[in-house]
């Protein structure tokens, strides 16, 4: 079962088989951060009355700040609760996959700065090949597969 809370910045996975966490004696849970999944089918793009949410050729979904009027429609429709409202400047805001760094051939900050090296960045082909080669179990949220998320969470303590 997956607990989704659009107002939260994390998602909780509760495995079907309810494995017991030996450390605490309670069913396992996994908390994951909720940044944008850069969906292949992105309802946020369709919802925006100003065309302020665009998909780049490389798949990155980003908000064009100059076009946003702060109507919050996109916040309502994002199935992952990945868009926040920036009260200071009155517009919607979200993860843009650090596009400015990607354009310079660098990786996103959350990838390069994660102290546990828990994140990996690449094209879908590169990541799929890696996942297949390493036989890594990918956690999916079945209810949300339709949106074709381009970010994945994997189970286990893999060092990338």
Binding site for ligand SF4 (CB under 6 A): 35-39, 42-44, 47-48, 50, 52-53, 61, 63, 68-74, 78, 80, 82-83, 91-92, 94-98, 108-110, 147
What long-range pairs does 52-58 form, CB within 8 A, spacing at least 24?
A: 52/92, 56/99, 58/102
Name the strand (E) or helix (H) holding 27.
strand 26-27
Distance between CA atoms of 105 and 99, rounded to whole angstroms?
A: 10
Q: Nearest approach, Cβ of 84 to ligand SF4 (angstroms)?
A: 10
Q: Nearest approach, Cβ of 28 to ligand SF4 (angstroms)?
A: 25
Residue (15 or 70) nearer to ligand SF4, CB: 70
Q: Nearest approach, Cβ of 105 to ligand SF4 (angstroms)?
A: 15
Output DSSP code: residue 71. -
Residue (61 or 127) nearer to ligand SF4, CB: 61
**Strands 83-86 and 91-94, bridge-based pairing:** antiparallel
Residue (62 or 158) nearer to ligand SF4, CB: 62
Q: Is 129 helix (H, G, I), strand (E, B) or coil?
A: helix
Q: Nearest approach, Cβ of 142 to ligand SF4 (angstroms)?
A: 16
């Amino acid at each position: 079962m997956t607990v989704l809370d659009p107002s939260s910045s994390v998602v909780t996975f509760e495995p079907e088989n309810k494995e017991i966490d030996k450390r605490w004696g309670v069913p396992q849970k996994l908390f994951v951060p909720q940044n944008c999944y850069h969906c292949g089918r992105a309802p946020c793009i369709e919802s925006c009355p100003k065309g302020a949410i665009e998909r780049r050729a490389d798949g990155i979904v980003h908000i064009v700040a100059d076009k946003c009027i702060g109507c919050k429609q996109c916040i309502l429709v994002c199935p992952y609760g990945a868009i926040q409202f920036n009260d200071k400047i009155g517009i919607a805001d979200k993860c843009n996959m650090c596009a400015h760094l990607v354009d310079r051939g660098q990786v996103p900050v959350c990838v390069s700065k994660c102290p546990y090296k828990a994140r990996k960045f690449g094209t879908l082909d590169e990541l799929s090949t890696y996942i297949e080669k390493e036989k890594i179990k990918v956690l999916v949220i079945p209810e949300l597969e339709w949106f074709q998320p381009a970010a994945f969470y994997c189970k286990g303590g893999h060092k990338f």
